[in-house]
């Protein structure tokens, strides 16, 4: 039977990076994946350009039942470390929005970089391969596959989360953790569009495709992951709401809760309303200072104020309009689910892991890294940064 220092299951972002680092530290590494094509999530990420990290990645960009857990790994392997690696490989990139770094060309450059790192580390990569069972064999881990059995002194589970099952996502990490009596924080789709059963506008079709910068809040300060506040673009879709604002908020949102949306800058609105020169303008027309004309008319219509001159609007209706647009509260029916989610919130409970190494405290030699852990990044490159940081500390912490 083949014997390795470490067997890594899952050759996505975290598994490939961990394998490369461990191999280059002199470990004999076997990396297994059930997928025919490797790195599919990296390939489709960032619209095909892979938002591979964020210049400002810090613990406040992550959700976890234990928000302190990420501090050590993120400090030891920072976004700058990964940027240095990307630069070593001559991969051209640019900053898009709030520190988000994207490849200038295809995301494939990141997959090639990771594969090259594995090659330098003499990693033995086998795929597609089906892992049938894993058990403990004396002080090692025995991995049974349809291509034979392998023995590893260390076992790293890097099989990611549940989003996008069509490209190889599975619940392997969660099932294996349960088998090992390791606690799980319930998994939920995150960074996901939200659906509504009752129409939030008179016709979703009519407004689908419109985008507005809003302030959005979701979650509750004292429960779960706390409350998230974002100022980002919201996109109206045929099914509900999406765009960066809603994706960010979705990670904090739970079934039955409402979302709070501030559609416009209330102080700028007051200035516009107070200007004498605007008295003769209609409500719809005043609202076009903030919204596309169709949406401006819809908001005026919701209060029966369409085509009404501002000077003729009662104080009560003025207050109602301000209230509508500064305190819009809606209850989503649900998320669009795992097929549309970018990440999984929840996963292996961090209380079971040592944040210095990602090792299961009660089971020396067993590690979990990447998205399968209860650590979820905000939109903007933070999830890949977590994959790199958790993989790096694990590779250095192998027994």
Ligand X SMILES: Cc1cc2nc3c(=O)[nH]c(=O)nc-3n(C[C@H](O)[C@H](O)[C@H](O)COP(=O)(O)OP(=O)(O)OC[C@H]3O[C@@H](n4cnc5c(N)ncnc54)[C@H](O)[C@@H]3O)c2cc1C
Residues 201, 384, 388, 392: which binds ligand X (CB under 6 A)?
384
Instruction: Please choose, out of 8-16, 22-30, 108-116, 223-231, the segment that lies near ligand X by the rule CB under 6 A.
Output: 8-16
Cβ-based neighbours of 218, under 8 Å, separated by 6 or more: 227, 228, 249, 250, 252, 253, 257, 259, 260
Minimum gap (Å) between residue 175 Cβ and ligand X: 9
Minimum gap (Å) between residue 241 Cβ and ligand X: 18
Closest-CB residue for ligand X? 12
**Counting contacts by CB under 6 A, is residue 111 touching ligand X?**
no
User: How many positions of this chain bind ligand X (CB under 6 A)?
Assistant: 35
Q: Does residue 157 contact residue 173 with C-beta atoms inside 8 Å?
A: yes
User: Nearest-CA neighbor of 358 among 147, 177, 219, 230?
Assistant: 177
Q: What is the per-residue burial (b if ≥16 Cβ within 10 Å, else e) of 177-190? A: beebebebbebbbb
Instruction: Please choose, out of 75-83, 160-168, 205-213, 300-308, the segment that lies near ligand X by the rule CB under 6 A.
Output: 160-168
Instruction: Please choose, out of 38-46, 81-89, 221-229, 329-337, the segment that lies near ligand X by the rule CB under 6 A.
Output: 38-46
Rounded to whole angstroms, how far apart are CA atoms 70 and 53? Answer: 15
Between 107 and 241, whose beta carbon lies closer to ligand X? 107
Residues 41, 188, 281, 378: which binds ligand X (CB under 6 A)?
41
**Counting contacts by CB under 6 A, is residue 371 touching ligand X?**
yes
Cβ-based neighbours of 75, under 8 Å, separated by 6 or more: none
Instruction: Please choose, out of 110-118, 139-147, 307-315, 380-388, the segment that lies near ligand X by the rule CB under 6 A.
Output: 380-388
Minimum gap (Å) between residue 316 Cβ and ligand X: 46
Rounded to whole angstroms, how far apart are CA atoms 10 and 264? Answer: 45
**Counting contacts by CB under 6 A, is residue 131 touching ligand X?**
yes
Between 51 and 389, whose beta carbon lies closer to ligand X? 51
Structure tokens at 329: 């509260």
Rounded to whole angstroms, how far apart are CA atoms 13 and 35? Answer: 13
Q: Does residue 306 contact residue 300 with C-beta atoms inside 8 Å?
A: yes
**Counting contacts by CB under 6 A, is residue 34 touching ligand X?**
yes
Structure tokens at 111: 């997959």
Sign of CA dihedral 344, 347, 353, 358: negative
Pairing verdict, β 148-157 and 2-9: parallel
Residues 6, 7, 14, 261: which binds ligand X (CB under 6 A)?
14
From residue 221 to residue 260, the character string flagging contacts with ligand X as x (rule: CB under 6 A) and all else as - is: ----------------------------------------
Rounded to whole angstroms, how far apart are CA atoms 340 and 241? Answer: 13
Instruction: Please choose, out of 44-52, 206-214, 258-266, 327-335, the segment that lies near ligand X by the rule CB under 6 A.
Output: 44-52
Binding site for ligand X (CB under 6 A): 9-15, 32-35, 41, 44-46, 50-51, 131, 158-160, 163-164, 168, 170, 172, 342-343, 370-371, 381-384, 387
């Amino acid at each position: 039977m083949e014997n390795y220092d470490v067997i890594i299951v899952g050759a996505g972002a975290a598994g490939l990076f961990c394998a490369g680092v461990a191999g280059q530290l002199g470990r004999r590494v076997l990396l297994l994946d059930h997928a025919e094509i490797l790195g599919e999530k990296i390939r489709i990420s960032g619209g095909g350009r892979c938002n591979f990290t964020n210049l400002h990645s810090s613990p406040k960009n992550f959700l976890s039942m234990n928000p302190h857990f990420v501090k050590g790994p993120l400090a030891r392997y920072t976004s700058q470390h990964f940027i240095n690696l990307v630069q070593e490989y001559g991969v051209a990139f640019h900053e898009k929005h709030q520190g988000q770094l994207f490849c200038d060309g295809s995301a494939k450059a990141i997959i090639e970089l990771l594969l090259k790192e594995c090659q330098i580390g003499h990693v033995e990569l086998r795929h597609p391969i089906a892992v049938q069972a894993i058990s403990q064999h004396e002080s090692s881990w025995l991995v049974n596959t349809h291509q034979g059995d392998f023995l590893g002194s260390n076992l790293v589970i890097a099989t990611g989360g549940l989003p996008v099952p069509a490209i190889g996502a599975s619940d392997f990490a969660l099932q294996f953790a349960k088998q090992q009596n390791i606690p799980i924080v319930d998994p939920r789709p995150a960074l996901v569009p939200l659906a509504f059963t009752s129409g939030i506008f008179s016709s979703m079709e009519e407004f689908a495709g419109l985008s507005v910068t809003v302030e959005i809040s979701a979650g509750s300060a004292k429960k779960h992951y706390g409350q998230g506040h974002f100022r980002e673009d919201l996109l109206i879709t045929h099914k509900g709401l999406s765009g960066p604002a809603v994706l960010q908020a979705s990670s904090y949102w739970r079934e039955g809760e409402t979302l709070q949306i501030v559609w416009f800058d209330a102080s700028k609105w007051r200035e516009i309303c107070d200007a004498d020169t605007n008295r003769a303008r209609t409500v719809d027309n005043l609202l076009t200072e903030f919204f596309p004309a169709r949406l401006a008319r819809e908001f005026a219509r919701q209060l029966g104020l369409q085509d009404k001159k501002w000077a003729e609007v009662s104080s009560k209706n003025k207050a109602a309009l301000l209230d509508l647009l500064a305190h819009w509260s809606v209850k989503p029916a649900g998320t669009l689910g795992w097929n549309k989610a970018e990440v999984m919130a929840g996963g292996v409970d961090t209380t079971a892991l040592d944040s210095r190494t990602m090792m299961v405290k009660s089971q020396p030699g067993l590690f979990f890294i990447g998205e399968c852990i209860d650590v979820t990044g905000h939109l903007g490159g933070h999830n890949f940064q977590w994959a790199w940081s958790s993989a790096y500390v694990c590779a250095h912490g192998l027994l």
